[in-house]
A and B are shown apart, each in its own frame.
Chain A
Amino acid sequence: MDIPRIPVGKTIEAGIDFLVEHCSFATRAFSDVLDTGLDIVQTGMLALPPWLFIIIVSLLTWRLARSKRIALFSIAGLLLIWNMGLWKATVSTISLVIVSTLMALMIGVPTGILAAMSKYVNKTVMPVLDVMQTMPAFVYLIPAIPFFGLGKVAAIFSTVIFAMPPAIRFTCLGIQQVPKELIECSEAFGSTRWQRLVKLELPLATPTIMAGVNQTVMLSLSMVVIAAMIGAKGLGGEVWKAIQRLQMGKGFEAGIGIVIVAIIMDRVLQKVGSRKQ
């Protein structure tokens, strides 16, 4: 008995092909622009001598997290990375993470706000988020290539998609959690919807939104590493190389570098987030 196969894959492929055919001129152009921007960020960061960069980062973590321990850890961790010869790769990864996080937040936070304000937006966005979060991360890499070509921009694209859901969810949740009586109060005093958002909901949602930001950063980092497969280079690229050549030591060194970057970012963001309360 032959049941005809439903052409799920084929249909999606056709859809994407169609999009590629008609949009790729735009996405390619966008890709070029973003590539240049990214290069500037990266070259700028590399222009600093590593020791100066390390001092700046540790001062920054110290100021932001108000914790000596985290600052000391940053110094030690970054020195180790420098020592292992992974400096350039690390800077590349950090700049990728920064750019993709910013983009994910720029799209995610406003979307989250809209989803909190409108039932319809909410009903449309939430199922999409479910799909985005359960879809294996690798799958995003495939369509990224035809749109943006191999390389960093494709990596950023898939990273943004992968890392955005928590930003949307947490923003929406934070706003929805604002106590009803406070909303009543702002209404009673005649606030406009915008005033209510800016003066009440966003400030109260900030800790929750910061938790979302933290997750977005962590997801960006993990995706940037995976995106090494489509030419993102950086620390992920080092791991990828090590896998292909079966160099266990190199692989672990790059892995440790990633862990160090992740810990610094996570602690700083956590401290910043909880301080807002």
Chain B
Amino acid sequence: MEKIRVENLYKIFGPQPAKVIPMLEQGLSKGDIMEKTKHGVGVNNASFSVEEGEIVVVMGLSGSGKSTLVRCINRLIEPTQGRVFIDGIDLTSLDKNELRKVRLEKLGMVFQNFALFPHRTVLQNAEFGLEIKGMDPEERSKKAYDALELVGLKGWEDSFPSQLSGGMQQRVGLARALALDPDILLMDEAFSALDPLIRRDMQDELISLQERMQKTILFISHDLDEALKLGDRIVLMKDGEIVQIGTPEDILTNPADDYVSRFVEDVDITKVLTAESVMKKTEAVGHIKTDGPRAALRKMRKNSISSLFVLNEERKLMGVVNAQDCAKLVAEGSSDLRSVICTTCKTTHLDTPAQDLFIIMQDLGYPLAVVDDDNRLKGVIIRGSLIAAIAERGGN
């Protein structure tokens, strides 16, 4: 089910925003418009949607309009034109009070600048949303305690925000949104002030929270690694425009234009990561001299895999066999694997950049073998774990 839908959204800053939209439609750039009319383009014709239970990460360089876009979604900023739907309700058509109710019931937000209340303790900050909802004090402080514990701030309940470090303040902001337990979380660079370790913990926590509770999350980030790790889909913005929407793999393998590929390149650790750094050790291999089809099948079964790399006497890679062919050989009573080895299987060198692996691995029915100069098998790469490995290591 669609939770959030944004349709042709524009936000222009300046005294006469409506006048600028036709210019944008004619294709004038943000810079031109600033020069000619002194109007700032925040969001330019953005359309996308977020499904229930999905994490969508909005990415882009500083000033590309990410914060403006989320603020338009809960109408903290009035869109100049376009529509925003939450659960099918057109927010742009609501009056103040109806809008307030939607915010109260469905939306939680974490702010880039934390926006903590200086006159309230950490606990009172975390309670804020519940207090607004009118929950009774005991229940709400219990929920706030839990949320603070979740973000690792147990014991700080009675401190004031000014006594906390930046990263801790950001976690208070996080707890304030989590305590509310809203369907939809809008998170504007919610982890940007955290150190790498806590950041990774928080990312994991968010993912598990989302899996458990089926939250719908719109996450803003300018960090590709974070986006790869968290995002079911990534929305890339440039100068207020959405330049690409796609899964992490899409973005890495088929950048829509130069901006995206530069973006991917700039922040991308797939450049520095090589096949060697993302491959896994081979759990099992077949040896042409000793293993027949029966042995090969047994090894596959034991490791729950459906294909097996086969090495020759010098321990060099010969090719790959799959379970089906081995079974056939067994049925025929043959004991030599040679006839079913696929010797043209794709291999890659230890030094191949991880970025290129996506292309090599496209439509590959078995893991990718990583070999050294002498064609000795060093490891394998499984498609599913590639992204995870990249996201994981990018965090540091």
Residues in A149-189 with C-beta less than 8 Å from chain B: 181-182, 184-189
Interface string of B126-141 (1 = CB under 8 A from A): 0011011100000000
Q: Is the CB of B100 within 8 A of A190?
A: yes
Minimum distance in angstroms from B169 CB to a CB of chain A: 13
C-alpha gap A195/B134 in the complex (Å): 11
Partner pick for B115 among A185, A190, A195, CB 8 A cutoff: A185
Contact with A along B91-120 (1 / 0, CB 8 A): 000000000111111011101010101110
Complex contact B103–A182 (CB within 8 A): no
B183 to chain A minimum Cβ distance, whole angstroms, is 13
**Nearest-neighbor residue (CB-CB) of B101 within chain A:** A190
Chain B 74-106 interface residues, beta-carbon cutoff 8 Å to A: 74, 76, 100-105
Once the chains bind, are B117 and A190 in contact (CB under 8 Å)? no
In the complex, whether A191 has a CB less than 8 A from a CB of chain B is: yes
Residue in chain B with minimal CB distance to A207? B119
A200 to B, closest residue via Cβ: B117
Query: Given the interface contacts A190-B101, A190-B103, A192-B100, does A182 sit within 8 Å of B109 by beta carbon?
Result: no
Assuming the contacts A182-B115, A200-B117, asked whether A189 and B76 have C-beta atoms less than 8 A apart, the reply is no
Interface string of A245-270 (1 = CB under 8 A from B): 00000000000000000000000000
- Check B119 against A189 for contact (C-beta < 8 Å): no
Q: Is residue A143 within 8 Å, beta carbon to beta carbon, of the partner chain?
A: no
- The residue from B108, B115, B131 contacting A199, defined by CB atoms under 8 A apart: B131
A50 within 8 Å of B by Cβ? no
Interface pair B104/A190, CB less than 8 Å apart:
yes
- Are B111 and A195 within 8 A (Cβ)? no
Evaluate contact between B132 and A195: CB separation under 8 angstroms.
yes
Q: Is A204 in contact with chain B by the CB < 8 A criterion?
A: yes
Asked if A203 CB lies within 8 Å of chain B CBs, one says yes
**Is the CB–CB distance between B132 and A189 below 8 Å?**
yes
* Smallest CB separation, A189 vs chain B (Å): 4
CB-CB under 8 A for A181 and B111, given A189-B128, A190-B100: yes
> Is B180 on the interface with A (CB-CB < 8 A)?
yes
**Distance between Cα atoms of A181 and B76 in the complex (Å):** 10
Chain B residue at smallest Cβ distance from A188: B109
Note all chain A residues with C-beta closer than 8 A to B105: 190
A182 to B101 Cα, complex, angstroms: 19
The tally of CB-CB contacts under 8 A between chains A and B is 53
Checking A182, A192, A195 against B117 with a beta-carbon cut-off of 8 angstroms, the contacting residue is A182
How long is the Cα–Cα vector from A230 to B113 in the complex, in angstroms?
57
The closest CB in chain B to the CB of A181 belongs to B115
Residues of chain B within 8 A (CB-CB) of A181 are: 111, 113, 115
Q: Which residues of A contact B101 (CB under 8 A)?
A: 190
With contacts A190-B100, A190-B101, A190-B104 taken as known, whether A184 is within 8 angstroms of B115 at the C-beta atoms is: yes
Take A184-B76, A195-B132, A199-B131 as given contacts and tell me if A189 and B103 are in contact as well, using a CB distance cutoff of 8 Å. yes
B118–A189 touching, CB < 8 Å: no
- When the two chains form their complex, are residues B113 and A189 in contact, meaning their CB atoms are under 8 A apart? no
Chain A residue with minimal CB distance to B71? A184
> 6 closest pairs, A vs B, by CB?
A190-B104, A185-B115, A190-B103, A188-B109, A189-B129, A181-B115
A to B CB contacts below 8 Å, 18 in the list? A181-B111, A181-B113, A185-B109, A185-B111, A185-B115, A185-B117, A186-B132, A187-B103, A188-B76, A188-B111, A189-B103, A189-B129, A190-B104, A190-B105, A191-B100, A192-B100, A199-B132, A203-B119
Task: Apart from A184-B71, A184-B115, A189-B109, list 6 A-B contacts with CB within 8 A.
Answer: A188-B76, A189-B132, A190-B103, A190-B105, A199-B128, A199-B132
